[in-house]
Each structure stands twice: as C-alpha cells, then as structure tokens.
Amino acid sequence: MSESKKLVRSSAGGITIGTAGLGAARGDKVGTVKQNVHDGDTVFVRALANVSIRFLAIDSAELTYSLPGTNTFKNTDDPAWKAFLTDPFANWPNATQKLGQPLLHYLEPKLGASTAENHFAHAKAAKEELQRAVQKDVNDYASGDIATYELFLRFARDVLDRYGRLLAYINVSLPKGTPRPPTYNERQLQAGAALPYFIWPNVDPFKKQPDLLDAVPKPSDVAKLANTGALSEARRWVADARAAGKGVFSANAPQGKLLLEPWELRYLARLGPPDRWVLDLTGNHAGALVPPTRYFEVQYPEDRLFVPREYLDLFKARGWKATSL
C-alpha cells in the first residue's frame, strides 16, 4: 500500500520518489512477474495512488499552501495566513538583502490585512471555473458518464516539477481527427481565472524544438516569436481578460482584483527570493534578461518568459546579457 495519496511526490529530503505495483495483465487483475518483466531493464507497473498534474503555462491563486517553517497546508484565508501576509517580512531578517529594496517597494501595496482573503476568494473562483469546464466536457463528450471520460495530456520538455507533479497541457481526449476545444490551461486564461506563467522551454514555440540549444531564441527573434502562434494567442487572451475586467482582473469581484500573484505568495512563504530570470517578450529590454528580483520591471505577466537559472549559460551563448544588480 502506498505511503501517500500521491503517486509521485517529494521526500522529506527533497528527492522525487514514487510508489507503484506490478501491472495488470487483463482488466483489473494483476499480472504475473513473468508477464510484467518486459526485458532486463523494463517492468510494467500500475499506479497505487493518485497522480497529481500541474497545468503548464498558467498559475491560479493558491487555495491552500504551507506557511513558513511548516509542512502543513492551510487554506489561504486562515487567520495564520492573514497575519503572515499582513507583514511577511516581520520574521525574515535578511529580506531587504535577499529581495532588494525595489522589490520590497513593489510588494508593499499588495500586502495587508485583506491579502489572504483576496487570494482565497480568487483561488475558489478559479477552482469553480475549472470544475465547470470539466463537467461541461463530461456532459458533452461522455454523456455525463465520469467513468468513461478520458483526459488527453500533452507533455513538454519538463515532465515533473520540483514537487513531483506531472506537468502537462490537459484537454478532453477525443478520437483522432475530431476537433478539440481549447485546453483547460487555455480556457482558464480566457476566463481570467488564472494568470499566465510561461516558463522556458515548456511553452510554444520553444517546446517544439528537438534540441534544447535550438529552443533558445536569439534576441533579434523575440518580437516575432512572441507575436505568432500559441504564445501570441495566450498573451492576447490575458490582455483581453484584463481589458474586460474578468476574473483576477475584476475590480467588481467580492474581494476586488487579485492582489498577490500566486507565485509571489509561494516565494514569500518559502522565505526566499524568486530564482528565475525573465525574458521580456515585448523586447523592451534589448537583449538583456531581467534579474529574478526585478521581474516587476516587465509590467504584465503575459509579457514575462521565465528562464530557470540552470539554463542561463545557454542564453548567454545565444547572445543574451544577464547581469545581476
């Protein structure tokens, strides 16, 4: 029996681990060892626990998250979250050194007594929006039968995140050649239920390149790449949602517009600075990557392409400048 409700998870030491059983031969019956050992280095297995999938390219408000120094997840409207987000730097003595004064000034108006309830309200709205979309597809494509409803998963270069979750674009599974609706990732952006969170190389057109170095854009190509294909569409959906005051951009929502971006809440809860560099998709930074703690210099989230630190040398080799302030 699995020691966790998640098939893939992080151990206490930060290692990605998992649990599985020998695979099924026919139906639900577990096959024999001979049936499941494919060859000398491959074995068929079945899941003994739930598989958690994180949507690629989007970021919705956190319904629950662990407070600093704990492994226990609490609703983000919990009084403890209200106290923390009123002044997250109270017990973070080196916050100014780690984040820098400009980032502290940027965060200041986002924080306060109402931040936690604001975040929770938008998290709940995002969950309900996704539930509606999935239920509609169950009704439309599976005649309301949840048991026969199947999901189609499209993976990118990174298949697992730092928490052991699968990373994917998710949609209803339909026969080949049948037109599909937009992915759930895309629908959440269109509804204003989530913010974009573009992390290189897991978004189009970069994820389509077979060679990682070829996926690194040249500084001169950014404007063209940012305004064509799926990336351009996603950016437009977010800009349209903002202009229409939908979802996280709605001043008329019960708690007003979303104050703190989800990933901002997460790095504050970790008591650590952001660690991904930012490529400005508008081209305004002229071939320079924005340092992690200055991401706010790229005003809108749909204009930020986050570059993990481990890929920084690839970008420098392609002609990008990356200078810490």
At 258-279, the pLDDT tens digits run 999 999 999 999 999 999 999 9
Burial per residue of 173-184, b for 16 or more beta-carbon CB atoms within 10 angstroms, e otherwise: eeeeeeeeeebb
Q: Is residue 324 part of a domain?
A: no
- What is the percentage of the chain residues whose pLDDT exceeds 90? 72
Same-domain pairing of 43 and 110: no
**Tokens 């989230």, residue located:** 301
State pLDDT tens for residues 199-252: 999 999 998 888 899 999 999 999 899 998 999 999 999 999 999 999 999 998
Cα 5 to Cα 15: distance, rounded to the nearest angstrom: 17
What is the predicted pLDDT for the residue at 314? 96
Residue 2 binned pLDDT confidence (cut-offs 50, 70, 90): very low
Both 58 and 186 in one domain: the answer is yes
Higher pLDDT, 161 or 143: 143
User: Model confidence at 3, in pLDDT bands (50, 70, 90)?
Assistant: very low
Give the domain range for residue 62: 54-317
182 and 312 fall within a common domain:
yes
CA 45, CA 246: separation in Å to the nearest integer? 44
Residue 25: pLDDT band with limits 50, 70, 90: low
Residue-wise pLDDT for 130-153, tens only, equals 999 999 999 999 999 999 999 999
- Residue 81 pLDDT: 98
Res 304 pLDDT > 90: yes
Together in a domain, 205 and 236: yes
**Higher-pLDDT residue of 323, 294:** 294
Residues 64 and 177 in one domain: yes
What value does the mean pLDDT take over residues 151-179?
90
User: Running DSSP on this structure, what letter comes out for residue 48?
Assistant: S
- DSSP bridge pairs for 22: 45
306 versus 48: which is more confidently predicted?
306
How many helices (H) and strands (E) in the chain?
Answer: 10, 17
Cα dihedral 22, 25, 26, 29 sign = negative
Is residue 296 situated within a structural domain? Answer: yes
